[in-house]
Amino acid sequence: MKISNGWTRVVAALVGVALAGTVVSPALAGTSASGSGGAGTFASGSGGAGRPRAAACTGEGVDPAAMVAAIRGLPSAEATAAQVRVTTGAGCWTGRSGARDLRTDAPVPADARFRIGSVTKAFTATVVLQLVAEGRVGLDVPVQRYLPRLLPADYPAVTVRQLLDHTNGLPSPTLPDTVEWQLAHRFDRWTPEQIVRAGLRNERTFEPGDKQHYTNMGYIVAGMLIERITGHSYAHEMRERIFEPLGLRDTYVPGSDPTIRGPHALGYQTVSRNGRTALVDVTNWSQTMTPAAGDMISTLADLDTFLRELFAGRLLPAAQLDEMFTLPDVSDVDGGRALYSIGLTAFPLPTGEVLWGKSGARWGYSTAIAASRDGTLRAAYSVNSTDAKGETQPAITERIIGAALGMR
């Protein structure tokens, strides 16, 4: 997904460019439903209760009309389900729409789990910064010092900071990008070392520190760094440092398990075969190709708790937290402005305000979190997009973001 292009479209929507309505394709016509019942039913509910978990969303104090309209009409050609949670200074609201399973039209379960994709990077960056605060890792120390045999001996120095803010220039593996190849290989298992070796067969994108280019590679290496420094698995450190202290009972690292444990809505991908369009269930999919970069599973309530506690400084000392709100002084590979900090993305608004968050996509699932710097506005969504890995975001995500900003 090209996040910068998608965000340009969102900004256009916010300044008044009309968004096209959803068109239901023939392939989905039999499963769409009205807003009064069935799979199209809109439902609101409560999140997790108790501190530090997210407080229950009662809906009091906010007007959700625009958001209800934004997620109504599912399943559709572009998405089969959606979940949204928005918190403002006045209150909190959460809702869901669409189908858990197109075969039965069952509604999306409350507190449904989903793949969060690259939102995982915010968790990984937080743990690395905790290690920095503990004096066990230096942001400006070459990663070769910690992982001495990972990169070739003559490879230029790549600092830990460059891993995390996408200025490392590390090459990614070259794999077929067709949907059919991906489907055929979705249960393949990779190790981080295999991914790095496959990437190093290609030329580096640029000299480390010269530019910014968003990839998974820096975070895959960062996951290896966490394991080397702590002597524990990546999953263990996430549980001990973030999940358990924050009471994130529905967030976990799946490892080699291709399933989503617990209540969830199925993910689907549009595939063209023999001149016809079909939807393929892609819920079960090995995430070993994106370790520490895009593999986690979570819920809206857990993501909101993480965002709230992170921005409030309860996971990191002030010096390390400030790193997450500092952009590198470089341009991206296309000559534009760098928008990725350590673990987060800057989302500038036409008003001059900047929101900070992270988006992510895995096959069948599109996710994003965002908040104002003071945390008084927080939003999280999961959309079961039928082309989650496409070049542009589906229009429903633009409507969700626009509606969330309008709820302040």
Report the 10 Å Cβ neighbour count for 186. 15
Range list of β-strands (E), 228-275: 268-273
Three-class SS of 330-349: CEECCCCECCECCCCEEEEC
For strand 276-281 and strand 297-298, is the pairing parallel, antiparallel, or unpaired?
unpaired
Examine residue 26 and say whether the peptide bond preceding it is cis (omega within 30 degrees of 0).
no
Residues 6+ away with beta carbon under 8 Å from 364: 115, 266, 267, 268, 269, 282, 283, 285, 384, 385, 388
Report the 10 Å Cβ neighbour count for 263. 14
Active-site position among 32, 76, 97, 118: 118
Range list of β-strands (E), 27-158: 43-44, 79-87, 92-101, 106-107, 114-115
Q: Which amino acid is at 394?
A: P
Distance CA 336, CA 323 (A): 21
Which spans in 24-95 are helix H? 65-71
Angle between helical axes of 3-14 and 395-406 (0-180°, round to 10): 50
Distance CA 111, CA 367 (A): 14
Examine residue 52 and say whether the peptide bond preceding it is cis (omega within 30 degrees of 0).
yes
Do 85 and 301 touch, CB atoms closer than 8 A? yes
118 in catalytic set: yes
Q: Residue length, the chain?
A: 408
Do 76 and 21 touch, CB atoms closer than 8 A? no
Which residues on neighbouring strands pair with residue 107, listed in sequence order? 99
What residues are annotated to the active site? 118
